[in-house]
Structure formats: structure tokens, C-alpha cells
Structure 1
Amino acid sequence: MPEPVPETLTTLKRMAADTPTRPPLGDVAHIGHAQLFTPRPEETVAFFTDFLGLTVSGQVGESTYLRTWDDYEHHSVVVTARDQPGIGRTALRCSSSEALARRIAAVKATGADGEWRQDEPGLGPLWVTRDPDGHEIALYHETDYWEAPTDDLRPGLKNQPQAKPGHGVAVRRLDHINYLARDVETTTGFIIDTLGARPTEQIRLDDGHIGARWSTFTQKSYDLVYTEDWTGATGRLHHLAFATDTREDILRAADLALDTGVFIETGPHKHAIQQTFFLYVYEPGGNRIELCNPLTRLVLAPDWPLITWTEAERAKGQAWGLETISSFHTHGTPPA
């Protein structure tokens, strides 16, 4: 006779049947790239190449395509000339064609729509939609692995796409994006319930509403962040962040910024939320850029509990007591 099913297994099956279906973690593999608008395109490109150490990988019309040395695709950032700074398209690579189809169907099920475009070098078709706050989001799967075209860009190690630059900060990869949003809870609900991100940390204010929320598609502790826009505007950017190899790289970046006239907003210091070591600067077009070192912190637990910070806890400032400066809550792009 077959052995009786353990009660714990029966309970688990019942719990699974009662649990709402959530998108599988991994349908969206990672952030592919982000587009920045700038009224000073030549100076913004120079900031990315000379100060951050990115490489120009292409130029089409008013857009310049740049890549960090450890991203494997054609570009990590697209710098596009516009009258005002801000965030354009954020591209998210799906893990397969089937995963892409699932996420498109999930977006359409919410009542949102999108359209197919194939307008970026090195990439296949992108399905372009918007989050509830109006930020442009593109989903795709097909991509070309970038190959160094010249000897000076070829790496010494075959498992590295490009030689590490010998100038500037030499940031390793595009790490995360922090958007401003009028309604954080609704917009992050779309990212979590429709695209399959996991929330990892959030701020709940005294009146009960969510002031900011961090979420991840990977085992990094966060990929996309939404912070409440105090102006009530929509579709704006708080900052774009690039990861460095070490904390010492960020200290060196602060010295380089001082020597080259790059505006330092705040840092170097350590966040309490997510424990990221950081430096915030402005690129010449006015967009806030973060240099961060979160490489030591991963979310490996499959049942990671959502960490909630209170308004009183956030009022204490950063991890080591640095007060959060006022411009961190008021500066966003485009200007409101």
C-alpha cells in the first residue's frame, strides 16, 4: 500500500491553491539599459566617457549609445538630445521568448497596451509600454553579445566583454534606476504583480501610504526604485546608478569630481536602506547620477520578508548619521 501523504504536504498544497498567482521570478532577467535626455548632449557624453569611463558604441541621429565595460550588450545607456533632462526608455531583457510573451500578456490584462519597435542597434524587437506613472518601459529578449572591435578594447580574460578602462571611475555596470512617481504603491504594484519583481524594502509614512519602494528582478537587493514625487508630477527621474568594483572607487570618484568640476550633491556615505555605499553627482544636463557599491549584498532567500521602514526611522538620516539633504527630496528631472 502507498504511504500516506504527510499532513505538512497536504497543508502546503492547500496553501498553494489558495495563493494568488504571481509572475515567476526570472521572466524579466535584468535591466538592459536606460535612456537619458539632456539639453547638453556633448557635455553629457563627455561626462559618461571621461568621468565615468564608459565607451561609445554607436551614434544614431540625436542619440549616442554607451556601454560600461562589464555589461555584455551593445549599450548600457542612451544619451539623447532634448530641450530638458529626464528619463526616456528603460529596457528590460526577458529570459526567453516565452517569458516575453507572458509579460506582454500580463501587461495587456491590466488594460495597458504597447507597440512593437525595432529602433535600437544590437537588439531585436522591443515591446514598448508605460508604467502607471508614465515612464516608458520596453520588454525584449533578442540581443547581440557585444564583441570588442579594437585591440585596446579587447580584454585579457575571455569571460569579460571588454577591457577595464584605464581612465575615469571605470564603473562596472548599470546597477539600478530610481524613478519619481505620484503614486508609489500603484506603480510598484504594476512592476511587482505584472512584471514579476520582488519588493525588498519600503518606507511607510505615518499616514499609512508608501513613500518609496525597492524591488528586484534578480538576486541583487534592488533593480528598480520608486520614490514619491513631492511635486505631484509624473514620469520623472530621481537618479540613474552605476556600480563600482569597490568602495575605494567611490572615494576616488569624489576626488576626480572635485578636480574636474563635476557637482557633488552628497556623499560619499552609506545608506541605511539597502546598505549601499554611495556618491551622488549631477551630470552636465542636470540628471542626478549615483555611483554605488552594493556588490556585497544579495537577496538569496526565496522567501525574503519585505523590510518596512517608518517615517521616524528615516528621519534619522543615513546609516552613519549623515542628514539627508533637502535637494534629495526636491531635485528631479525634468524640472517640475
Structure 2
Amino acid sequence: MPENCFDVAHLGHVELLTDKPVESLDFFVNVYGLTESGREDNSVYLRAWDDYEFHTLKLTASKTTGVGHVAYRTASPEALQRRVDVIERMGCAIGWVDGDMGHGKAFRFHDPDGHVFELYYDTKRYVAPPAERPALKNLAQRYHGRGAAVRRIDHLNLLAKDVSAIRDFMAQALGSRVTEQIQLDNGRLGGCWFTVNNKTYDIAYTEDHSDMSGRFHHVTYAVDCREDVLRAADIFLENGVFIETGPHKHAIQGTFFLYVYEPAGNRVEVANAGARLILDPSWETVTWTETERKKGQAWGLPTIPSFHSHGTPPATAAVDKQEK
């Protein structure tokens, strides 16, 4: 077994595109509970109260929806260069960019499905203004209790035509490990869950049932306990937010989940995540069969059809096939 690679430290931030910037910003601040940390051009930078970096969500006004880019922070400048060397040899490099308000220069590349990623090391730590200063010095920001009051960014899910190609790509480009996966009866991989550290996963890919590439499934912020997820459900209900599915417990990864659509149609999750950690350095991938997944979620809730069809930007031509 090859030695695990820890050049990449953690998921840094996600850029989300919205064609309803005013409504989306109101949702993420007042309903979801993020805090604005800066603005630049058509983008607003947002953070959860226990994120240490300047931002973890970059909300960008656009003519479309979906994901702009996904960013990971490396463990050191040397680790960043090692990853750059590997990615350049893979032939998927885009090149260096200056970075945005939250971090220094970053190296951009694309996955086999066309999603844009970047790696960076130099970062801007959040310094709370007086109104956001915490009572405890080991927190970056006070707990404000606004909206769902999510604690930190946890993971995201992207859609891809060929999950097997993604599995090989993520292992080579980022040193990611596959913690769990779905093996379909037709031989394809229906989904893979990846981690770069000892979390159970920081990104997942599931099979896209459309004719498009580079689509977005959801982004997830974590809360402390299941009761926080239930509280979020009431908050979404009172604010007229469409609840797609949940609260319930996932069979894969075991997170207690709640999925909603923000005003532009991007799927967002609130989850009680992080209780399970991968501490075993020789962890073997858990593989779920199609038959097992047809049983639904952990307590029997069926996986709703929109979970396999709704992504952003919206599909121009859906393909009628089922992945469980």
C-alpha cells in the first residue's frame, strides 16, 4: 500500500455562482447564518463563525448558477510546489492566479469533468471587527446565533460523467483517499467520497445523469449536533425555503442531514458532521452495492429522485436513468 500523502491540508473555500445575487446573499447571511467578511467586484466573501480563514464561501453574481471553483489549502509552500509539479505532469494545469481577498497566489487546474480547482498556501486569517469579537480567544469569531448559525465549512459534492476517472484523478492530483464508494451493477462507480486528512470526507462526486459537464450538487456546512439540524429545519420553514429532503441520517458516512435550495437553485446542506474520523492509516474503502443503496438512507428514507437529477446549472437534457 502506498504511503498516504498529506500535502493538501483541507478544503479552503467554494465559489458559488448565483443569478439572484441579492436574494442569495440574504439567504446565506440571515437564514443560513454566515457572516460577510468582504466584497470585491461581483463577489461577496462569506464565512461561518468557526472558520479560521477570511472566507469559506465566495458568492459571485453571474448569468448562471453552479460552482465557480473549489479551493484547497496545502500544508506548506513546499507541499504546494510538489502538488503543482504533479498536476503539471498530469496535463490538467490552468496556471497561477494572483488569488482573491482571502489568500495569496493560487495554482489552478481542472478535473476530468471540467470543474476548476485551485491550490494555495498563503492565506488571510480572519480578524474579527469589534462587533464580531468572541469571548474566548481560541475562536476566530463570536457565536452569533443568527439563522441556522452553521459552524464551519465541511464538504461539497460535485457531479461527473465518469466517477472512475475522478477517483484516479483525485488520488494523483491531491493525494486524496477514497473512504466510501458506490459500485453499480453495470460496472460504473455511482459515487466516491474523498478525504485529504482524517475527516471522513471533504468532497464527494456522484454520477451526473445529464449530458452536461462541470455541474454542482451541493455544499455543506456543519453544526454541532442533530438538534441544530432540527432547528435549521424550522428556520427554513419559517423563511419559506424549499426543503428538498431530511432531516434524516445518511447510510453512507452517517451524517445527519438536511437539504434545501437557496434562492438561485443551488443545493445547500446543513449537517451534523465530523463525529466520525478516519484515524486508521490503512483504512480500506467501504464499497456499497446498488442493492444496498436501494434500501435508502440509514433509517429507510428513500433517496428522492431529485437527488439524482437536480444540479446546477440546470441540465439542458436529462437522461432517464436511475442510480441508487
8 Å contact kept, 2:24–2:263: yes
**Structure 1 letter corresponding to 2:167:** T
Write the mapping of 1:1-336 to structure 2, written as runs, cut at 5 A: 24-150=4-130, 152-336=131-315
**Structure 2 letter corresponding to 1:317:** G
SS at match of 2:93: coil
C-alpha distance in 2 between matches for 1:116 and 1:193: 19
C-alpha distance in 1 between matches for 2:91 and 2:61: 32
TM-score, reference length from structure 1: 0.92
8 Å contact kept, 2:247–2:257: yes
Q: CA RMSD in A?
A: 1.0
| Cα distance per residue 1:234-281 (max 9 Å; x no partner) | 100011111011110100010111111011000000000000100000
C-alpha distance in 2 between matches for 1:232 and 1:310: 25
| Cα distance per residue 1:134-164 (max 9 Å; x no partner) | 11100000012211022x2001111110001
Q: Give the equivalent residue in structure 1 for 2:318.
A: none
Gaps of 5+ in 2: 316-324
**Structure 1 letter corresponding to 2:122:** E
C-alpha distance in 2 between matches for 1:258 and 1:61: 33
Higher Cα Rg: structure 1 or 2?
Answer: 1
C-alpha distance in 2 between matches for 1:235 and 1:188: 15
TM-score, reference length from structure 2: 0.95
SS at match of 1:109: helix
**Structure 1 letter corresponding to 2:300:** G
C-alpha distance in 2 between matches for 1:255 and 1:113: 44
Shift of 1:167: 1.4
Shift of 1:188: 2.3
SS at match of 1:255: helix
Runs of 4+ in 1 over 2 A off after TM superposition: none
Count of residues in Structure 1 that have an aligned counterpart in Structure 2 = 315
| Cα distance per residue 1:172-200 (max 9 Å; x no partner) | 11100100001111012111122101100
Which range moves more in the overlay, 118-127 or 37-46? 118-127
**Structure 2 letter corresponding to 1:93:** R
**Structure 2 letter corresponding to 1:237:** F
Gaps of 5+ in 1: 1-18
Percent identity for Structure 1 against Structure 2: 52
